[in-house]
Amino acid sequence: MVVQPGVRLGRYQIEALIGRGGMGEVYRARDTTLDRAVAIKALPESLATNRERLARFEREARLLASLNHPHIATIHGLERNDGASFLVMELVLGETLAERLSRGPMPLEEALPLFRQMAEALEAAHGKGVVHRDLKPSNVKVTPEGNVKVLDFGLAKALDDDSREGELSESPTNTYGATRAGVVLGTASYMSPEQARGKRVDERTDIWALGAVMYEALTGKKAFPGETASDVIAAILKNEPHWELVPGATRTLLRRCLQKDPTRRLHDAADVRIEIEEATTPPEATVRKRSVIPWAPWAIAIAALGVAALSLWAPWREAPSRPVVRTRLDFPDVVPAPARAMKALAISPDGSRVVYAGIRAGESKLFLRELSGHEASAIPGTEGGYGPFFSPNGKWLAFFAGGQLKKVRTEGGPVQVISSAPSPSGGTWGERDVIVYQGARYAGLSRVSANGGAAEPLTRTEPGEDQPSPRFLPGGRAVLMVSRPNSVDSVIQVVDLETSTRRTLVEGGDSPIYLASGHLVYNQRGTLFAVPFDPRTQEAGAQAVAIAEGVFVHVNNHSQYDVAQDGTLVYLRDDFLRERQLVSVDRMGTVNPITPERRPYGVPRLSPDGQRLALLLYEGMRARTIWLYEIGRDSLTRLPFERGLTSSPIWAPDGRSLAFLARLPEFQLFRGPADGGQEAEPLTEPSSYVMYADAWTPDGGTLVYSQFDPSTGYDLWTLALDGERKPSPWLRARFNERGGELSPDGRFLAYMSDESGQDEIYIQPFPDSGARWKISTNGGTEPCWARSGRELFYREEDKMMSVGIETRPAFSATKPIVLFSGRYETSFLVTGNRFYDVFPDGEHFIMVRSEDSSGATELNLVQNWGEEVERLSPTK
């Protein structure tokens, strides 16, 4: 007989389906004899037709019906009608605990009374020898009056098709026997370790489940999360919950409930109830109770001796510590996007998920990965997004894209525009739904509501000053920020949002983050440090402790790291030292190695005859030298330009010399012979602001270069190498124009500009700038001319693009097409330094390929580093 609404089962009139699970369907029904509402659980057909199992179930059901407790849903009886077997149970009104938790975690004052009632229910059932075996939020109902009713007591065992102990079939959370009738799926999160291992279970399994449910109720997170049941089981057997998320009043209790060894776990639900009652007892009542104890004088003396002994022993007592855990976090099939002037990653405040800006299948988006899972999912609507940061509750993600500040729910939903941000450099979301961000480089910070509206200026900048990397302090009244008076040096400051006054905290640091542990974390030349910091007095400790080295840092000092409030650290490693190989790639994407040896190569430049390469070898972010590679002879020689930090080598048209940048310690352009036989000569005066050599005119008489300006960003300049050698600005605007590339005939200059909110490729006549043509259509970097002058190449994310160019009788350009795509290094600086070049035939490209050809982004994850900081602290 089919049980469904409208059917009558004996004296029970079925009214509506109210639930469905692995142990059967549940209907609301009317007992026509007693005129009362009841719940009907239709038993699986496999049980109803198996006489042996049904008889055993009847024996178990009689035991379950003996449970009579106000917090246990009553079983009225087991009935049969026309071939159908069903349980008649108390109908409990209200919502399940699972439905309540879908709205978020519960405050202590709401949660503890409910869990005290659940513990009472377990205490009563265990006293009758009944173990629940499947305690979970969906099996707990909360009535409109606030009373708990635990459902399905003992049905996991009663409905099982094999009662032999020591098998996983005892657990309804079992995934291995998922094909068997009566097995409930999807409850592995509350399974005890002994259940997971298929061992015998007893009351302590329910204690574990109660602890897991309580943890979830108080934190809003599962104690042992995972993407699949297998992942959850692995976490239960090996991992520990994030105890720092649990309120201190209940942390010890939950630790005792969730001990993996059942012999170390709380044995009795009464113990759980007592501890919950003590946690809910007002402190004054506790004091009053203790004050009436008739302390004898000898007891007081013993207590005093105990305190004295403890004071002597305490300084040498070592508190238990957790080891620092360093692991890798993969973003499968996600390759790094070309580096921008901002962070590419963010971790949620609770440390449960990471967002990364990257490329998958040629599309640039933000990708989210739960730390408990293995997959990274693209966030819809975040195309071209970068600079992500979370809201304080982790439910929203803000980011920049297309010259705007936007937000989107982390669980999915439409993207919303908050404000304009034409050339941003980072943002932070405060507790009062206020966002502070730098909407344009070299401008001050702005403040805007997270719900949108007009932004208002918060700070001002001095000429040449940049203010990236803002981060809120607790309370939302002050913000950590970086002040960079030029393009290199930086200091960490705190700015008061009410008075706009600033105070310097750390010289030479950047990307600061305050943690609730009382630490200020910041980067200094690729090393992360933690120093004690009091947000009330705004005083930082005197000595910092290093917590991670080799952190990737952009040339503008944006550090690729983030820290959750529980201390979980995630960062990108310094890619400058990554082993790479130079390869030749044709227009179809066919790859052939050029250099057999893998080294940290960068910025390859072919000589005019195509036989030699000038390139960089990185020794770290701030250490690189120029080398010469002879392709036919497979010979690599260092050029002896001992001029400090060198960069951006470009060939003179005659192939006899190279122009390059050096920092000594100020920035200066030099020209040196390609054979290294003579000293390099300076071409420009020393400057506090960075500059990069871009191109030569065909006659070798003029050099085009990009230079940073504090008021306009990067601009394009020319330098005539005859006469006074006086630099002249060629293109100055309030955006970043850089990476100039002259056409072979010297009549047109291609360059990149971010005036649209993202980098695009433009071409203008040279030397007299006049008309201008936008070449790229969906973003572009690293322009390069073919030797024929009739084709321009550039990069669009991981794709090599081609545009046909005609200059006579008038300028015209074709629609860009994709030549090939792949995992090749791109410029990780904000300048136009190309990471590729084109052979004279225009058919082959020299590319830089990473040793890691998997294409997956790999982040570093560090947990429990706070204990290492405490151990290394000079005050310890």
Going by pLDDT thresholds of 50, 70 and 90, the confidence category of residue 178 is very low
Residue 87, domain extent: 8-280
Alpha-carbon distances of 18 from 81, 91, 682, rounded to whole Å: 21, 10, 83
Instruction: Tell me how far apart the alpha carbons of residues 58 and 43 are, in angstroms, rounded to a whole number.
Output: 12
Residue 693 is part of a domain; what is its CATH number? 2.120.10.30
Cα separation, 513 vs 523, in Å, equals 10
- Same domain for 566 and 632? no
Distance CA 316, CA 869 (A): 18
Q: Distance between CA 476 and CA 804 in Å, rounded?
A: 53
Read off the pLDDT of each residue in 293-305 and give the average, rounded to a whole number.
37
- Give 315-363 pLDDT, tens digit per residue: 323 444 556 777 778 787 787 765 555 788 999 999 999 999 988 877 8
Q: For residue 145, tell me if it sits in a domain.
A: yes
Pair 624, 485 in one domain: no
Does residue 595 share a domain with residue 547? no
Q: Look at residues 654, 650, 672 and name the one whose alpha carbon lies nearest to residue 784.
A: 650
Q: What is the pLDDT of residues 9-43, one digit of tens each?
A: 888 898 888 877 655 678 899 988 888 889 888 77
425 domain residue, yes or no: yes
Query: Distance between CA 680 and CA 548 in Å, rounded?
Result: 38
**Is a pLDDT exceeding 70 seen at residue 274?**
yes
Read off the pLDDT of each residue in 95-121 and give the average, rounded to a whole number.
91
Same structural domain, 587 and 557: no
Q: Are residues 127 and 140 in the same domain?
A: yes
- With contact defined as beta carbons under 8 Å apart, do 694 and 740 qualify? yes
pLDDT band at 290 (very low <50, low <70, confident <90, very high): very low
Residues 523 and 619 in one domain: no
Tell whether the model's pLDDT for residue 208 goes beyond 80.
yes
User: Each residue of 219-230: pLDDT tens digit?
Assistant: 999 999 988 888
Whether 843 shows a pLDDT value over 50: the answer reads: yes
Contact (Cβ atoms closer than 8 angstroms) between residue 212 and residue 241: no
Highest mean pLDDT among 169-173, 650-654, 685-689: 650-654
pLDDT at 500: 79
Residue 631 lies in a domain: yes
Model confidence at 74, in pLDDT bands (50, 70, 90)?
A: confident
CATH number, residue 221:
1.10.510.10
DSSP state letters, 788-846:
TSSEEEEEETTEEEEEEEE-SSS-EEPPPEEEEE-SB----SSS---SEEE-TTSSEEE
Active-site entry in 35, 134, 162, 852: 134
* Range 354-374 average pLDDT: 86
pTM higher than 0.85: no
Kindly give the pairing relationship between strand 353-360 and strand 363-370.
antiparallel
Tell me the per-residue pLDDT of 812-836, one tens digit each, with 9 for 90 and over.
Answer: 999 999 999 887 887 655 555 789 9
For residues 607 and 641, membership in a common domain is answered with yes
Residue 134 designated active-site = yes
Which residue in 755, 608, 626 sits closest to 696, CA to CA? 608
State the CATH number of the domain containing residue 547: 2.130.10.10
Q: Measuring CA to CA, which residue among 706, 674, 721 is closest to residue 782? A: 706
Q: Is residue 309 part of a domain?
A: no
**Residues 551, 523 contacting (CB under 8 angstroms):** yes
The residue out of 226, 254, 280 marking a domain boundary is: 280
Domain match, 169 and 266 both: yes
Percent above pLDDT 70 for the chain: 81
Q: Residue 856: phi, psi to the nearest 5?
A: -90, 140
Whether 328 maps to a domain, the answer reads: no
Taking the C-alpha atoms of residue 101 and residue 412, their distance in angstroms, rounded to an integer, is: 19
pLDDT of residue 21: 60
What is the sign of the dihedral through the CA atoms of 43, 47, 49 and 54? negative
Listed residues 280, 297, 317: the one ending a domain: 280
Buried b (16+ CB within 10 A) or exposed e, 299-331: eeeeeeeeeeeeeeeeeeeeeeeeeeeeeebeb
Domain count, the chain: 3
Check: CB of residue 652 under 8 Å from CB of residue 670.
no
pLDDT given for residue 286 in this prediction: 39
Same domain (yes/no): 61, 92: yes
Mean pLDDT value of segment 129-145? 89
Q: How far is CA 800 from CA 213, 350, 383, 770, 824, in A?
A: 52, 39, 19, 28, 10
End-to-end CA gap in the chain: 74
Average pLDDT over residues 129-141: 89
Residues 562 and 625 grouped into a single domain: no
Asked whether residue 377 is assigned to any structural domain, the reply reads no
Predicted local confidence at residue 465, as pLDDT: 67
Average confidence (pLDDT) over 780-791: 95
Alpha carbon distance 558, 829 (integer Å): 11
Q: Quote the pLDDT of residue 181.
A: 29
Residue 405 lies in a domain: no
Do 272 and 148 lie in a common domain?
A: yes
The predicted structure's pLDDT at residue 311: 35
| Residue at 668 is within a domain | yes
The first and second tokens of residue 284, run together, are 């004054």
Is the distance from CB of 438 to CB of 468 less than 8 angstroms? Answer: yes
Task: Say which residue, 111 or 617, is predicted with more confidence.
Answer: 111
Same domain, 732 and 753: yes
Render pLDDT for 593-652 as a digit per residue (tens, 0 to 9). 998 788 888 889 999 999 999 998 876 555 578 899 998 888 888 888 765 567 889 999
- Whole-number pLDDT of residue 172: 36
> What is the pLDDT of the chain when averaged over all its residues?
81
**Last residue of one domain, picked from the residues 216, 249, 280:** 280
